[in-house]
Chain A
Amino acid sequence: MTIDRRTILQAGASALALGLAPQGALAQAEAFRIGALNPVTGAGSPYGSGMAAMILAAVEEVNAAGGAGGRQLQVFADDTQTNPQSAVLAAKKLIEVNKVNAILGTWSSGVSLAVIPLVNDANILLMHTSGAPALSVPPANAKGYGYRFQATNDRFGRAFAEIAVKEGYKRPATMAFNNASGIGNTQGFKKAWEAKGNQVVAEVVYEPNQPSYRAELQRVMAARPDVIVMGSFLPDTTIILREAFQTGANVKWIIPGWAANPQLVSALGNEPTEGIISVDSVSNEQAASFARYDEAYRRKMSQPGASNVYAAMTYDMVIALALAIEAAGPGAGTAQINAKIREVSNPGGEKVFTFADGKAALKAGRKINYEGASSVLDFDEFGDVTPDFGVFFITKGKLDRRYVVKI
């Protein structure tokens, strides 16, 4: 990480020396500055360093292919501490001191909601992985500068509903961690489920960090559900599933992929986790872009790329942004670049999987469709990706993808 630290100090010094440059005005051949604003510490810390590392890796890749729109990319990294107050100060530093032209990789909804007014004022783009629905629409996204690379909680919930229908469940109950993401998932499920004319038999919202969740489980089980749909995270999922098993509860589970993962299996063992349905937005694992991302992730973090879905998203953020910059041509401002994002990522055009290929195709005058590592990156009118969802069944301790749900 020394490269960007030196760059920060250089940028700071030159900013002081040269004085203020006009906001948003991009001189010819001047570097395009990316603010990597990630949850390096705090609740998002399992993902933050990987997210930052992948932004760097993608930038290196783009620069090695000759840059975008005649410009090299430059990264300034900072830590949100997964805390809106800290994120606002960090964003101000990136915008005012480092003069970034885009901010990439905010993770928690609270952070993105606090930062998006600042990027709107500064007329720069924000690409994030947060789930809160409020980020899609005005007032947060009034200028259309916000892009969401993660499926909204709402979409997750709808996927859960499709799965429940497909698996033939009739009496679902929900359990949600008391935060925006957890509740977003279960509310999304409830809305979609009830829209089909069905009923949710019990709903429970639980607080974090309790010594036991037995009472909550009891409430849910009293309604005799056949499946429990969770909006949860790893620690509480571990506790709840363990207690469910140890009280002899006989029920099926639909759980988001970040909670029902190999760590859950290693914590609980095969028997309690057998048959759990784990749902995650499909990483484009078959795509060449995923292979590149995976290789870079292993190189920098010594872990498989699949262990950090958010890092795949930040990698894609840089590539998609760089292709848009390339398509917009030299000297383009935020608005022009913004106009090209959907053009280079959405269907219609030649599928490309790397920056170099995309750049070559653009130079030859062809329309492209970048298929990313995290998803195929098709943005709707709100700037949200519309990924497919992989449905994994935990079988003998392994996650086995049986099918894909499109919503």
Chain B
Amino acid sequence: MEAYLIAILIVTAIYVLLSLGLTLQYGLTGLINFGHVGFFCIGAYAAAILSTAGGMPIGVGLLAGMVLAGLAAIPIGLVALRLRDDYFAIVTLGFSETVRLVVTSEGWLTKGVQGIPGIPKLIDGVGTGPALTILALVGLANLLAVMAFLRIVKSPFGRMIEAIRDNEDAVKALGKDPARFKIQVLVLGAVLAGLSGGFYAHYIGYVSPDQFLPIVTFYVWMAIIMGGVGRISGALVGTLLLMGFLEGSRFLRDLLPFISAVEMASIRIGVVGLALILFTLYRPQGLMGDYTRRK
């Protein structure tokens, strides 16, 4: 039983990194990133390719994933400067789909739709020992990310990006250029997503393009909206809720026997949609309250 719970915690910790990245981008800075799964995908595939075909040690793959994801964020950032929010959202969605198309097509690098099996685990071996070590590693990454996050929020940089979110014109009027900060934030968020992708690849052991569909981005959005946009506690609580929901739906059928199993997939997506609608309507600040003063 413990091993199963540890497994869930590991996947939760992986998603927390995604939520933290998105919180940095949207919660603190107001950038509507609908393409988060694209950075996740880059991180996962970098780790997968380098540790299998590339024969590199795991650390190299993880690092490469972070770097590549961060680099990919720069052109997105440059584009962001020129667009208003909702256009930016659509462009980022296009970005993540393009990443997926590239991964699908460039089979010489990514093995295309066959996917890459046999990705080595972070720690070898069976049983709860190694599993706990893996959890510790990912948990450590989470801790470091949270600490970095807190430092950012309290720093002049943090105040600046929140100012950009709240009133960009005022920032410009003061003579500061928001562009630089937006790009930095996008890169930081992407780096976190890239790391998360690397951990994911080494945990599931197999990557394929259809594990990186836009629905993953919207799961993360659901997590931060429910938990509370703009706060670390929001990212954590929201991710726990998300995982609880995703795994819990496995047991839900026992409680609701009149729902056929086939309908479960539709119901799951319906609940995600309903959560997005209801929270947007009635509790936009999420469960943990809201740092953003914008409506």
Q: Taking the complex as a whole, does A directly touch B, i.e. does some CB pair lie under 8 Å apart?
A: yes
Contact residues of B between 99 and 137, Cβ < 8 Å to A: 104, 112-115, 117-118, 126
* Interface presence of A241 (CB below 8 A): no
Task: Give CA–CA (A228, B254) in the complex, Å.
Answer: 47
A49 to chain B: which residues have CB within 8 Å?
260-262
* Interface presence of A204 (CB below 8 A): no
* Interface presence of B206 (CB below 8 A): yes
Asked if B254 and A110 sit within 8 Å, CB to CB, the answer is no
* Interface presence of B7 (CB below 8 A): yes
Contact residues of B between 213 and 251, Cβ < 8 Å to A: 246-247, 250
Given A41-B264, A110-B208, A178-B104, the answer on whether A2 and B257 have CB atoms closer than 8 Å is yes
Task: Give CA–CA (A1, B260) in the complex, Å.
Answer: 10
* Interface presence of B287 (CB below 8 A): no
- Other-chain contact of B126, A97, A109, A121, A132 (Cβ < 8 Å): A121
Query: Per-residue CB proximity of B131-166 to A under 8 Å, as 1/0?
Result: 000000000000000000000000000000000000
The minimal Cβ–Cβ distance linking A297 to chain B, given in whole angstroms, is 17
B261 to chain A: which residues have CB within 8 Å?
1, 40-41, 48-49, 79
* Interface presence of B205 (CB below 8 A): yes
Asked if B264 and A84 sit within 8 Å, CB to CB, the answer is no
Q: Is chain A's binding surface mostly helix, strand, loop or mixed? A: helix
Contact residues of A between 354 and 402, Cβ < 8 Å to B: none
Q: Determine which residue in B112, B114, B126, B264 has the highest number of CB atoms from chain A within 10 A of its CB, and name it.
A: B114
Asked if A113 and B117 sit within 8 Å, CB to CB, the answer is yes
Total A-B pairs, Cβ < 8 A: 101
* Interface presence of A78 (CB below 8 A): yes
Asked if B8 and A16 sit within 8 Å, CB to CB, the answer is no
Contact residues of B between 239 and 295, Cβ < 8 Å to A: 246-247, 250, 254, 257, 260-262, 264-265, 268
Asked if B254 and A8 sit within 8 Å, CB to CB, the answer is yes
A93 to chain B: which residues have CB within 8 Å?
4, 7, 250
Asked if A5 and B1 sit within 8 Å, CB to CB, the answer is no
Residue of B whose beta carbon sits closest to that of A176: B113
Asked if B1 and A41 sit within 8 Å, CB to CB, the answer is no
B204 to chain A: which residues have CB within 8 Å?
84-85, 88, 114
B254 to chain A: which residues have CB within 8 Å?
5, 8-9
The count of residues in chain B whose C-beta lies closer than 8 Å to any C-beta of chain A is 34
Given A90-B250, A92-B4, A122-B126, the answer on whether A180 and B113 have CB atoms closer than 8 Å is yes
Asked if B211 and A89 sit within 8 Å, CB to CB, the answer is no
Contact residues of A between 89 and 105, Cβ < 8 Å to B: 89-90, 92-93, 96-97
Task: Give CA–CA (A83, B2) in the complex, Å.
Answer: 23
* Interface presence of B3 (CB below 8 A): yes
Asked if A140 and B211 sit within 8 Å, CB to CB, the answer is no
The minimal Cβ–Cβ distance linking B266 to chain A, given in whole angstroms, is 8
Asked if A140 and B117 sit within 8 Å, CB to CB, the answer is yes
- Other-chain contact of A97, B1, B11, B115, B117 (Cβ < 8 Å): B1
The minimal Cβ–Cβ distance linking A265 to chain B, given in whole angstroms, is 24
Task: Give CA–CA (A354, B165) in the complex, Å.
Answer: 70
Residue of B whose beta carbon sits closest to that of A111: B206
* Interface presence of A152 (CB below 8 A): no
The minimal Cβ–Cβ distance linking A87 to chain B, given in whole angstroms, is 9
* Interface presence of A201 (CB below 8 A): no
Name B residues whose Cβ lies closer than 8 Å to a Cβ of A: 1-4, 7-8, 11, 104, 112-115, 117-118, 126, 200, 203-206, 208, 210-211, 246-247, 250, 254, 257, 260-262, 264-265, 268
Q: Which 5 A-B pairs have the closest CB atoms?
A: A41-B265, A96-B3, A40-B261, A114-B206, A113-B117
- Seed contacts A88-B204, A180-B208; 7 additional CB < 8 Å A-B pairs: A49-B262, A85-B211, A86-B246, A88-B7, A113-B115, A180-B113, A180-B115
Cross-chain pairs A/B with CB under 8 angstroms, 13 sampled: A1-B261, A2-B257, A5-B257, A8-B254, A49-B260, A85-B204, A85-B211, A88-B203, A92-B3, A93-B250, A96-B4, A110-B206, A180-B115
